[in-house]
Amino acid sequence: MAEEQEMDLMDVRIENAGLEAEDGGDGLEFHQGGLGSGSESPDASSFTSADQKLQEEQSLLREAQYDGAQQDDSNASIFSMRYYRRFFNVTTNKVVHRLTRSVLPSTKEFLTEEERADLYGPLWICSTLVFLTAAAGNFASYLEFDDADGKQTWKYDFEKVTLAASLFYSTISILPVAVYIWLRRLGQPRALTDLICIYGYSLTIFVPVCILCVVPSSLLRWLCVMVGFAVSSNFLTRNVWNQLNVTRDGQQQAYILLAAILIAHLSIALTMRWYFFDFSS
């Protein structure tokens, strides 16, 4: 019996030694003792630098994948969904940055060769304006409603949604096409997607304008609409004009183009004011 117990103890020791050898080969080390045993804890700064390095590598990898996807999509057919996918492959930070730049005065180019146009921002700006303008217009009419004789009832005007959709979606479709054709006639063509992107982001300022026009003040409404028109048209004409290489022969045509852009943009602002936020009658 004693010999068998000694053999069992030897087997247990051999197995423990084998496990310790395997743990050592995997780089695992176990230390006894608590905080007061004198063992050193890993430096927190090393973990922070490692995390930052990992984030940078992931960011570079995403940019490389983005550029590769853009090149693959650019070679796709114009009648396929892959061709238009690159115009919606944009980050939230990029869209927010462009929204900010569209309402702040700046002399820098909105779109450069490094910054491709996107259609995600213009689409959501117009969709937001469609429902926001209709809702704000109806809410403003409710605040202006005066039932002095007690025989009238306020009604929601659903036609405002239809007109708002026609107004804003035509702004980012029909007007950019017209400008595109005009620029080709001038011999200075520009990508249609660039024009759609510029027109879409030029409408950003009208989002706060719609909200402020709810206030029942005719003077404030006119002021907000005119300020919105000034900011929006300045952004639009500046980005179109900066891309023009105007010669003496084409100078008159270029000025006519800018005048047409301003008139069309003014008509949009006046339509907002007179149809959605005018309750004088």
20-65 pLDDT per residue, tens: 444 444 444 444 444 444 444 555 555 566 666 666 666 555 554 5
- Measured over the CA atoms of residue 63, residue 97, residue 114 and residue 259, the dihedral's sign is positive
Write down the pTM of the prediction.
0.70
Which pLDDT value is given to residue 280? 72
Q: Report the range of poorest mean pLDDT among 32-36, 146-150, 265-269.
A: 32-36
Q: Which helix (H) or strand (E) holds 163?
A: helix 159-171
Structure tokens at 34: 């608590």
To which residue do tokens 């005065």 refer? 105
Which pLDDT value is given to residue 42? 52
Mean pLDDT of 245-268: 84
Q: What is the DSSP letter of 273?
A: I
Q: What is the DSSP letter of 98?
A: H
- Measured over the CA atoms of residue 91, residue 93, residue 94 and residue 96, the dihedral's sign is positive
- Reported as a single tens digit per residue, the pLDDT across 192-228 is 999 999 999 999 999 999 999 999 999 999 999 999 9
Which pLDDT value is given to residue 38? 47
Q: How many CB atoms lie within 10 A of CB 121?
A: 21
